Structure 1
Amino acid sequence: MKLVYVFDAYCGWSHGFSRTLLDVLSRHPELDADVVSGGLFTGSRRVPIREFGHVRGANTKIAELTGAEFGEAYDRLIADGSFVMDSEAAARGVAALRHVAPARTAETATALQWVFYVGGLSLSDPATYRKVAEESGLDADAVVAAFEAPWARQAAQADFRRAADLGVAGFPTLLAADGDGVTPLAHGIATTAEVEQRLSSLRAR
């Protein structure tokens, strides 16, 4: 069995789920975890953030329900309204971090969300990946080179296809994969205890 975490780095609910994800993984070092980018803001949804009028209200709800932090720099970004969330660029970044440190993808993916939702940094900017890599003790040059490599775009598209093939329609979604079977463990909001209970029930079958 392994875990499959389908998220989007620009998804506030995924940011809210970060603590639960890391808690579950810390309790189960025996389980490998695939991190898959879902592609929330692509195509016609790649527009200035002001087009999403629900963002402020959603973030307030996320903070209330999960304790997730939204920083002042991010608030300024939202207030300006011109920033464009590009999920393909973010997925390229996740692919780059996964390439350099595959065993730490969950950790670095949640770090990406932190630098956006707290630090207000663009996930389309190579400097953001340099910062995350340096703060994570990774080879920053290798991460930036991977982010800018042509194969990273292909990896992003492969992630989007995998999310669709898994039948994931919303983010975040945590799945348990065992052979050909896939079982949902969490969708949207879930506590560590709730995920643990579902995982225990699955293992008891």
Structure 2
Amino acid sequence: MKLVYVFDAYCGWSHGFSATLREVVSRHPELPVEVVSGGLFTGGRRVPVREFGYVQGANAQIAELTGAEFGEAYERLIADGSFVMDSEAAARGVAALRRTAPERAVELATDLQTAFYVDGLSLSDPATYRKLATAAGLDPETVVTAFEAPGARTAAQADFRRSAELGVTGFPTLLALDGERAVPLARGRATADEIDRRLASLS
């Protein structure tokens, strides 16, 4: 059995779930985790943030319910409403980090969300990945080269297909994959204890 975490780096609820995910992974080192980007803001949804009028209200709710931090630098980034959340670029970043350090995929995916939601860094900017890689002790040039390579776009599209094939309709979603059977452990939010109980019921 393994866990599959389907999220979007530009999804506030995924950011809110980060601490729970890290706790679940620390409790279950025996379970491999596949990290998949879901593709929330692609195609016609890749528009300036002002067109999503609910963002700040939703963030306040996420912070209240999960304790997740939304930093001042992030608030400044989105303040004038012109910032565009591009989930394909973020998924390319996830793919680059995952390729560079596959065993640290969960840690790096949650670090990527912190880079946006706390530090106010664009996930379309190669400099973000250079900074994140350096902080994580990875070779920044390797990560940036992977982010900019054609293979990253291919990997992002493969992630979006994988998410659809798993039947995921919202982010974050945490699944237990046992052979061909995918069992939802969390959709949107759940505590680590709730997830543990659901995992225990599968064994």
Residue 39 (structure 2) aligns with: 39
- Distance between the aligned counterparts of 1:170 and 1:69, measured in 2? 21
After superposition, give the CA deviation of every residue in 1:135-161 in whole Å (9 maximum; x if it has no partner).
111111100000000010000000000
- Distance between the aligned counterparts of 1:12 and 1:98, measured in 2? 21
Structure 1 stretches (4+) deviating beyond 3 angstroms?
Answer: none
TM superposition score normalised by structure 2? 0.99
Residue 3 (structure 1) aligns with: 3
Residue 180 (structure 1) aligns with: 180
TM superposition score normalised by structure 1? 0.98
**How far apart are residue 200 of structure 1 and its match?**
0.7
After superposition, give the CA deviation of every residue in 1:23-66 in whole Å (9 maximum; x if it has no partner).
00001111100000000000000000000000000000000000
Task: Please list every run of 5 or more consecutive structure 1 residues that lacks an aligned counterpart in the other structure.
Answer: none
Q: Which has the larger displacement, 131-140 or 164-173?
A: 131-140
Q: Which residue type is aligned with residue 141 of structure 1?
A: E
Q: Which residue type is aligned with residue 13 of structure 2?
A: W
- Distance between the aligned counterparts of 1:163 and 1:33, measured in 2? 14
Task: Please list every run of 5 or more consecutive structure 2 residues that lacks an aligned counterpart in the other structure.
Answer: none
**How far apart are residue 131 of structure 1 and its match?**
0.8
- SS of residue paired to 2:167: coil
Q: Which residue type is aligned with residue 146 of structure 1?
A: A
- Distance between the aligned counterparts of 1:26 and 1:175, measured in 2? 16
2:106 is the counterpart of 1:93: no
2:193 is the counterpart of 1:190: no
- Distance between the aligned counterparts of 1:172 and 1:123, measured in 2? 18
Within 5 A, what are the aligned runs for 1:36-185? 36-185=36-185
Residue 12 (structure 1) aligns with: 12
**How far apart are residue 202 of structure 1 and its match?**
1.2
- Distance between the aligned counterparts of 2:78 and 2:54, measured in 1? 11
After superposition, give the CA deviation of every residue in 1:99-141 in whole Å (9 maximum; x if it has no partner).
0000001000000000100010000000000111111111111
**How far apart are residue 78 of structure 1 and its match?**
2.0
- Distance between the aligned counterparts of 2:52 and 2:3, measured in 1? 31
- SS of residue paired to 2:79: helix
Percent identity over the alignment is 75
**How far apart are residue 76 of structure 1 and its match?**
1.1
- Distance between the aligned counterparts of 2:80 and 2:135, measured in 1? 28
- Distance between the aligned counterparts of 1:191 and 1:160, measured in 2? 26
Q: Which residue type is aligned with residue 70 of structure 2?
A: F
- SS of residue paired to 1:80: coil
Q: Which residue type is aligned with residue 125 of structure 2?
A: D
Q: Which residue type is aligned with residue 34 of structure 2?
A: D
- Distance between the aligned counterparts of 1:80 and 1:121, measured in 2? 15
**How far apart are residue 201 of structure 1 and its match?**
0.9
Number of aligned positions between the proteins? 203
Q: CA RMSD in A?
A: 0.5
